[in-house]
Chains A and B, each alone.
Chain A
Amino acid sequence: MRRLMLVPMMAFLACGGGESGEEAAGEGGAAAAAAPLGSGSISGMVMFTGTAPSNPALDMSDEPQCAERYEGEPTDPVVKVMGGHLANVYVRVSGGLPAGPYPQASEPTVIDQNGCLYQPRVVGVMTGQPLEIRNSDPLLHNIKAVPTENRPFNISQPQAGMTTQRTFNTPEVMVPLECNVHGWMNAFVGVTDHPYFAVSGDDGMFTITGLPAGTYTLEAWHETLGTQTAEVTVQDGAAASVEFTYSG
């Protein structure tokens, strides 16, 4: 197996009190992610069978500027099923990875506050990778993270256009995010010390790339429907398929 020479990333993986990680200076100084460990990938699908549970209605009457963005009554997209596909399932490689270091993801992952809901609802980041929180609503949100393995934060964002970046230093599945001005708002951040994770889209699909050949355990997480695992074998230069099925 090829071993790449990467700048040691142990600094990123060290526990500690500080909340902001530093940019990785790769061998060559580029800020972009270093070369992948492998050429294999996983192409997955999350299905949903049965009747989807109805999502709770949201009372946004205290925030007319958000309420008026919705035709009819807004609902909280806890279980998002479209055409038999389940979105917002966080999938990560939980076993079988070679020892690190892994290519560091350094592009920020963005969560937006829009219409008094988090978009997207579920994201993944690597330790040390910036999470960028944006406010697109012209009103006050606070963005509060309540992790147990990482340091918390609680930031006021009173204006549209304000962005804040934070990083997490320790793997944690999942870190909840919430707004206290609008108590119905919830999002979830999965933090891993490797870049092999994805979140299923509205079409239920997810892709994990850059894996060396081998057999891996995948864990899928949904905020109310629970976790599932699956084994998948990846070949060099090929996409392995995997399917998860949740039911109502």
Chain B
Amino acid sequence: MIRGLGAIVLSAVLAPALAAQDADAGKVIYDRWCAGCHGESGAGDGESAAYMLPRPRDFTRAVYQIRTTASGGLPTDADLRRVIEEGMPGTTMPGWTEKLNRRQIDNVIAYLKTFSRFFDGTDPEVVRIGSAPGVTDEGLAEGRRLYEDELECLRCHGNGGRGDGTSAPELTDDWDFPILAADLTEPWTFNGGSSTEEIYTRMYTGLDGTPMPSFADVITSGIITEEQLWRAAQYVRSLAPDDEPERRDVVRAALSEGALPSGPGDAQWEEIEAYYIPLVAQITLSPRWFTPGVDAVWVRAAHDGQQLAMRLTWNDRNNSPDQRWEPLFQNVRNSVESPDTPLPETQGPDIFGVQLPLVLPEGTELPYFIRGEPRRPVSLMEWTSNPDSMKTGTATGMGTFAAAGGVDVRHQAVFGDGQWHLQVTRPLQPADAGSATPLVPGRPIPIAFYAADGTNGETAERGAISAWYSIYLDVPTPSSVYVAPIVAVLLTAAVGVVIVWRAQQGERRS
């Protein structure tokens, strides 16, 4: 008992010393792993910060985005731990559970607090988040009414939730950097998580450091109820599929019996399966760019044996160039560093490209995935929004493009609510062999995509790209597929009957 008492006394005496030691141990970890982005003095100005958007957190203001505390409140230790462990999707902040254990993360948290005098040792108060009512159609309709009319979320987040609202072009964060209203149709890119509970918590606490306000006072003022805020959160969640889209390697071009879809708005496209292809920053070859505007494309494809039709769908807050978005463009130009050449001085058009190897590869060797190489050229179909046009040709690497007229490519592009739909139709066999890739059904054909957002200063070579995927043009199912099993069953049955009959014969004799 004396020893127990002694242990208690000893730990009480040592506890302040241990706490101080935590921050010192945290500094060692911070300087090694965090300072490169967050800066030696925690001001979010590390060496690589200038290439990023959003910027790494500036800890010196103690303004934190993802919290369970009221607007303007400090984060709890659990809030900080969650972001360090899991990272922030949609940003360059990774999760650290693989590299740092719990003790190390707690030490880093202790060190983070030394960057701002606002951390005075008191525990911030956690807001009370109730629980969601069950989702109902009436509830979603109410949520939509709140989103559009009463709370006016669409002013920033847009009619369809893609961040293209009328107030969106001028948004800045607390440090005057450009900031985008979230694309609510891609919840896997939400900084604080994609569940309805997370969405509700963000609406309740607000995202400090950003234009996103807190709605807690709207509830305490009696203007809406907690349940109504849940309905709004449920509506927001309903703007996206339940699960993060699966990334598959092969795009199947369905074989169409009748006519191919006539344009991007043709209802026939809804029956054709969509394939999700992520697009990532092209950071390999000059002009490199770390913060592209387009993050994915949905591909649908169909052919009729003569023509291949593809519908490409991707989110873009503006049809570029767009004068209303000039403030954002200028702010991006002034604040995001470009490692090679500077951004253009004016907004450009939006661009989307489909890339195929010019010659179908026999083995596994593919052309270099960024616009090909001299030994292995690529065939490009590249669409530009303004003026609306499509160019077809070949490329043998960055900065090369040779127009090719020997293939009749038709296209139609439609923009609405922060989304492009582009239909591209071309014959399977180019009229002029060698001018474009022959599209042979029944075998995987490598395919890649690239996109540029002109309002983000991007061009066909500076933007977002995909790796090589494959497109497979379905072939008709041969009738042998149906006949062979029936023949096999009959033959097997016949053989079985013969065996049993002979066995029975044998039995009768003995």
Residue positions of A touching B, CB distance < 8 A: 15-17, 19, 62, 139-140, 142-146, 148, 151-159, 162-164, 180-183
Question: Contacts of B151 on A, CB cut-off 8 Å?
Answer: 140, 156, 158
| B interface SS class | loop
Selected A-B contacts with CB under 8 Å, 14 pairs: A15-B118, A17-B74, A17-B124, A142-B211, A151-B74, A151-B118, A152-B63, A152-B72, A154-B72, A156-B215, A157-B218, A162-B217, A180-B167, A183-B170
Query: Which of B71, B119, B156, B213 is packed against the most chain A CB atoms within 10 Å?
Result: B213
- Given the known interface contacts A154-B208, A158-B151, A182-B167, the answer about A17 and B71 at a Cβ–Cβ threshold of 8 Å is no
Interface residues of B in 186-211 (CB under 8 A from A): 206, 208-211
Q: Per a CB cutoff under 8 Å, which of A17, A139, A148, A156 touches B122?
A: A17
- Given the known interface contacts A17-B122, A148-B61, A180-B167, the answer about A162 and B152 at a Cβ–Cβ threshold of 8 Å is no
B152 touching A158 by the CB < 8 A rule?
yes
Complex CA distance for A152 and B61, rounded to whole angstroms:
10
Complex CA distance for A175 and B217, rounded to whole angstroms:
21
A19 touching B72 by the CB < 8 A rule?
yes
Interface residues of B in 105-138 (CB under 8 A from A): 117-120, 122, 124
Distance from A161 Cβ to chain B, minimum over Cβ atoms (Å): 9
Q: Chain B 72-100, CB within 8 Å of chain A: the 1/0 string?
A: 11100000000000000000000000000
Name the 10 nearest CB pairs between A and B, nearest first.
A180-B211, A140-B152, A183-B170, A142-B213, A156-B213, A153-B72, A151-B72, A62-B166, A154-B213, A152-B72
Complex CA distance for A146 and B218, rounded to whole angstroms:
20
Nearest CB to that of B222 among chain A residues? A162
A16 touching B122 by the CB < 8 A rule?
yes
Question: Contacts of B408 on A, CB cut-off 8 Å?
Answer: none
Complex CA distance for A153 and B151, rounded to whole angstroms:
18
Complex CA distance for A152 and B223, rounded to whole angstroms:
23
Q: Per a CB cutoff under 8 Å, which of B71, B74, B218 touches A158?
A: B218
- Given the known interface contacts A19-B72, A164-B217, A181-B155, the answer about A154 and B167 at a Cβ–Cβ threshold of 8 Å is no
Distance from B140 Cβ to chain A, minimum over Cβ atoms (Å): 20
The interface size bin for chain B is 35 or more
Could you list 13 further interchain pairs (A-B, Cβ under 8 angstroms) beyond the known A140-B155, A156-B213? A15-B118, A17-B73, A17-B122, A139-B152, A145-B72, A151-B118, A152-B174, A153-B214, A154-B208, A154-B212, A156-B214, A162-B221, A183-B171
Distance from B114 Cβ to chain A, minimum over Cβ atoms (Å): 15
The yes or no answer to B47 lying at the interface (CB within 8 A) is no
Complex CA distance for A156 and B155, rounded to whole angstroms:
13
Query: Which of B120, B166, B167 is packed against the most chain A CB atoms within 10 Å?
Result: B167
Question: Contacts of B73 on A, CB cut-off 8 Å?
Answer: 17, 19, 151
The yes or no answer to B70 lying at the interface (CB within 8 A) is yes
Complex CA distance for A180 and B150, rounded to whole angstroms:
17
A16 touching B213 by the CB < 8 A rule?
no
Residue positions of B touching A, CB distance < 8 A: 61, 63, 70-74, 117-120, 122, 124, 150-152, 155-156, 166-167, 170-171, 174, 206, 208-215, 217-218, 221, 223
Complex CA distance for A145 and B72, rounded to whole angstroms:
9
Question: Contacts of A159 on B, CB cut-off 8 Å?
Answer: 150, 218, 223
Query: A-B contact count, CB below 8 Å?
Result: 93
Nearest CB to that of A139 among chain B residues? B152
Q: Per a CB cutoff under 8 Å, which of B71, B155, B156, B170 touches A154?
A: B71
Question: Contacts of A139 on B, CB cut-off 8 Å?
Answer: 152
- Given the known interface contacts A16-B122, A152-B72, the answer about A180 and B174 at a Cβ–Cβ threshold of 8 Å is no
Nearest CB to that of A140 among chain B residues? B152
B171 touching A180 by the CB < 8 A rule?
yes
Nearest CB to that of A164 among chain B residues? B217
Complex CA distance for A19 and B214, rounded to whole angstroms:
14
Question: Contacts of B209 on A, CB cut-off 8 Å?
Answer: 152
Question: Contacts of A145 on B, CB cut-off 8 Å?
Answer: 72
Complex CA distance for A151 and B215, rounded to whole angstroms:
18
B223 touching A155 by the CB < 8 A rule?
no
A17 touching B118 by the CB < 8 A rule?
yes
Complex CA distance for A142 and B214, rounded to whole angstroms:
9
Distance from B218 Cβ to chain A, minimum over Cβ atoms (Å): 6
B218 touching A19 by the CB < 8 A rule?
no
Question: Contacts of B74 on A, CB cut-off 8 Å?
Answer: 17, 151
- Given the known interface contacts A152-B208, A153-B71, A154-B208, the answer about A162 and B223 at a Cβ–Cβ threshold of 8 Å is yes
Complex CA distance for A189 and B371, rounded to whole angstroms:
55
B167 touching A16 by the CB < 8 A rule?
no
B213 touching A155 by the CB < 8 A rule?
yes
B156 touching A180 by the CB < 8 A rule?
yes
Distance from B229 Cβ to chain A, minimum over Cβ atoms (Å): 11
Distance from A85 Cβ to chain B, minimum over Cβ atoms (Å): 32
Question: Contacts of A164 on B, CB cut-off 8 Å?
Answer: 217, 221
Nearest CB to that of A142 among chain B residues? B213
Distance from A197 Cβ to chain B, minimum over Cβ atoms (Å): 23
Question: Contacts of A156 on B, CB cut-off 8 Å?
Answer: 151, 206, 213-215, 217-218
Complex CA distance for A162 and B73, rounded to whole angstroms:
22
Complex CA distance for A232 and B218, rounded to whole angstroms:
46
B217 touching A155 by the CB < 8 A rule?
yes
- Given the known interface contacts A158-B152, A158-B223, A180-B167, the answer about A17 and B215 at a Cβ–Cβ threshold of 8 Å is no
Nearest CB to that of B205 among chain A residues? A154
Nearest CB to that of A17 among chain B residues? B74
Complex CA distance for A182 and B152, rounded to whole angstroms:
13
